[in-house]
């Protein structure tokens, strides 16, 4: 089975060179190559990512023999250590590819000897990088810009007519404050959904699905190619500033600088960023398809890997290494070892710093809890002080009221003495009244008795009266009867006399 060895300085955090190494490894695996990656420094989370992709990951201390591989992809000038160690195994069967990913990072510079002697192909991630390193005598005939090309998995098509902006994806390990402020405005005032991938958001490997689900991407560097091949508009802006929306008439200049923002170094405010994103999104949406149609071939990483595979199979090299070449490679190897030592020492310090940061964060959390508890205690103390003050105020009020009560008590006691004297006077008068009452009661009893006797006498008189009345009524009846009889007789008599005289 054909084998590929990928050499790079570090495979630890998720950064540009690590992702290039992983994507190249995965692309070779798609073409049925066994892939190993060797690095001066390896750590999580890249260890787990490589394992999940079924890629073997080694430390350079394990010294894999590069001459046992069909193709070697070399980043960061790590390779001289391995070449020098296995210099006696030198052969022309291995196809060496050297890769440069930055115009200013020292590890990305053109090699002193090994690269110059063994390179079959040299790649640069941008025209800017190629122009910068050309000053060191890069051989033009085997040099090529690969534009930080994206794996074919990122290539997709989106509906160009849908110009509605809902989801914005920020991909950055170093977002400037104006971008973070702009995203807050877009979220809070415009209701957009913001997804943040990077050290200040979700730390993880970017996937084609994440790009596909985004309506727009704010980023620089390698992620730009992901977005363009997936028909996703890109707002190019980060710690170097940037050109803003990539449009058909400005992307080529930005491309030469690896979409880093260094093409113009333009810095604007958060409000200006928001205004540009909202105003020009529809045009960026229309233009990204035009850009894609122009760059799709050169932004497809699979094309470069397949080309390397084909050239490697056909390549026939007759290179030889003389004693001077071997000595130069040995000297370069020592330099690279020193760089490795310093880098590993640096990473040791970084690890210690991370641990100290973790410990410090724990202390900060504990301190925060203690401060919170202290604040609660102080709040309780203040609350108790307030209560104490309230009680003291109430006590003072009670004391003042007590003095008034004492005065009132004394006044009441005085009045009570007067009332007692009045009571005694009243009691004396009451005794006299009682005696008068008893005297009156006695007289009243006598009067009642006299009244009863008089009443009895009256009753007897009444009875006598009633008897007399009955007798009178009886006489009256007899009288009326006699009267009527008398008058009737008188009347008859008069009539006889009258009648007699008439005759």
pLDDT digits (tens, 9 = 90+) for 233-243: 999 999 999 99
Average pLDDT, the chain: 91
Q: What is the pLDDT of residue 37?
A: 98
Find the mean pLDDT for residues 309-330: 90
Find the mean pLDDT for residues 82-94: 94
> Strand (E) positions, 88-246?
95-100, 121-124, 143-145, 167-171, 193-197, 216-219, 234-238, 241-245
Helices (H), 127-262: 127-133, 177-188, 208-213, 222-229, 251-256
Find the mean pLDDT for residues 474-479: 86
Scored b (16 or more CB within 10 A) or e, 106-127 reads ebbbbbbbbbbbbbbbbbbbbb
Cβ contacts of residue 167 below 8 Å, gap of 6+? 192, 193, 195, 213, 214, 215, 216
CB 163 within 8 A of CB 282: yes
Q: What is the pLDDT of residue 288?
A: 96
Give the pair of three-digit tokens for residue 421.
Answer: 């004297």
Confidence of residue 401 (pLDDT cuts 50, 70, 90): confident
Residues 105-135 have pLDDT tens digits of: 999 999 999 999 999 999 999 999 999 999 9
Q: What is the pLDDT of residue 218?
A: 97
Give the pair of three-digit tokens for residue 379.
Answer: 């709040």
Confidence of residue 144 (pLDDT cuts 50, 70, 90): very high
Residue corresponding to tokens 């449009």: 247
Q: Among 149, 145, 152, which residue's Cα sits nearest to residue 100?
A: 145
Distances (CA, A) of 21 to 45, 50, 76, 98, 109: 14, 10, 11, 12, 17
Answer left, alpha or beta for residue 448, where phi above 0 means left and psi between -120 and 50 means alpha: alpha
Residue corresponding to tokens 């009895």: 456
Is residue 192 pLDDT above 80, yes or no? Answer: yes
pTM above 0.75, yes or no: no
Residues 242-256 have pLDDT tens digits of: 999 999 999 999 999
Q: Tell me the C-alpha distance between 300 and 157, whole Å.
A: 15
SS (H, E, C) 453-477: HHHHHHHHHHHHHHHHHHHHHHHHH
* End-to-end CA, the chain: 198
CB 220 within 8 A of CB 237: yes
Q: What is the pLDDT of residue 137?
A: 93
Is residue 498 pLDDT above 80, yes or no? Answer: yes
Q: Tell me the C-alpha distance between 189 and 184, whole Å.
A: 8
Q: What is the pLDDT of residue 503?
A: 66
Is residue 434 pLDDT above 90, yes or no? Answer: no
Is residue 35 pLDDT above 90, yes or no? Answer: yes
| Helix 222-229 vs helix 16-30: crossing angle, to nearest 10 | 50
In angstroms and rounded to an integer, the radius of gyration of the C-alpha atoms of the chain is 61
Find the mean pLDDT for residues 433-461: 86
């Amino acid at each position: 089975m054909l084998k590929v060895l990928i050499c790079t300085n570090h495979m630890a955090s998720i950064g540009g060179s690590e992702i290039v190494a992983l994507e190249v490894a995965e692309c070779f695996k798609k073409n049925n190559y066994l892939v190993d990656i060797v690095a001066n420094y390896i750590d999580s989370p890249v260890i787990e990512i490589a394992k999940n992709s079924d890629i073997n990951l080694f430390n350079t201390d394990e010294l894999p023999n590069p001459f046992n591989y069909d193709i070697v992809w070399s980043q960061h000038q790590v390779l001289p250590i391995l070449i020098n160690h296995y210099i006696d195994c030198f052969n022309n069967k291995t196809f060496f590819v050297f890769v440069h990913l930055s115009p200013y990072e020292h590890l990305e510079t053109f090699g002193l000897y090994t690269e110059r002697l063994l390179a079959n192909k040299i790649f640069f991630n941008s025209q800017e990088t190629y122009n910068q390193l050309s000053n060191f005598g890069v051989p033009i005939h085997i040099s090529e810009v690969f534009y930080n090309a994206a794996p074919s998995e990122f290539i997709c098509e989106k509906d160009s007519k849908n110009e509605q902006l809902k989801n914005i994806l920020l991909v950055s390990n170093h977002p400037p404050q104006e971008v973070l402020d702009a995203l807050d405005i877009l979220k809070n005032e415009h209701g957009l959904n913001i997804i943040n991938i990077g050290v200040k958001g979700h730390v993880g490997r970017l996937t084609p699905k994440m790009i596909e689900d985004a309506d727009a991407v704010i980023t620089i560097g390698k992620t730009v190619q992901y977005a363009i091949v997936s028909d996703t508009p890109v707002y190019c802006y980060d710690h170097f500033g940037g050109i803003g929306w990539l449009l058909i008439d400005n992307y080529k200049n930005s491309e030469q600088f690896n979409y880093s923002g260094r093409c113009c170094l333009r810095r604007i405010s958060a409000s200006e960023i928001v205004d540009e994103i909202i105003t020009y999104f529809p045009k960026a949406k229309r233009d990204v398809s035009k850009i894609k149609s122009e760059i799709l071939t050169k932004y497809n990483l699979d094309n470069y890997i397949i080309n390397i595979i084909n050239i490697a199979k056909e390549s026939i090299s007759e290179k030889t290494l003389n004693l001077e070449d071997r000595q130069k490679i040995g000297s370069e190897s020592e330099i690279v070892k020193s760089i490795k030592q310093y880098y590993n020492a640096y990473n040791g310090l970084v690890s210690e710093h991370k641990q100290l940061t973790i410990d410090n964060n724990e202390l900060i959390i504990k301190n925060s809890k203690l401060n919170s508890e202290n604040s609660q205690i102080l709040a309780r103390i203040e609350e108790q002080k307030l209560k104490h003050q309230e009680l003291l105020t109430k006590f003072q009020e009670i004391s003042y009221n007590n003095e008034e009560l004492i005065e009132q008590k004394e006044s009441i006691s005085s009045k009570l003495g007067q009332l007692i004297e009045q009571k005694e006077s009243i009691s004396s008068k009451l005794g006299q009244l009682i005696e008068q009452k008893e005297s009156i009661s006695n007289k009243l009893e006598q009067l009642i008795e006299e009244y009863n006797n008089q009443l009895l006498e009256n009753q007897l008189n009444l009875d006598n009266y009633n008897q007399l009345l009955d007798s009178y009524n009886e006489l009256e009846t007899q009288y009326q009867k006699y009267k009527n009889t008398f008058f009737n007789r008188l009347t008859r008599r008069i009539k006889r006399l009258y009648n007699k005289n008439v005759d």
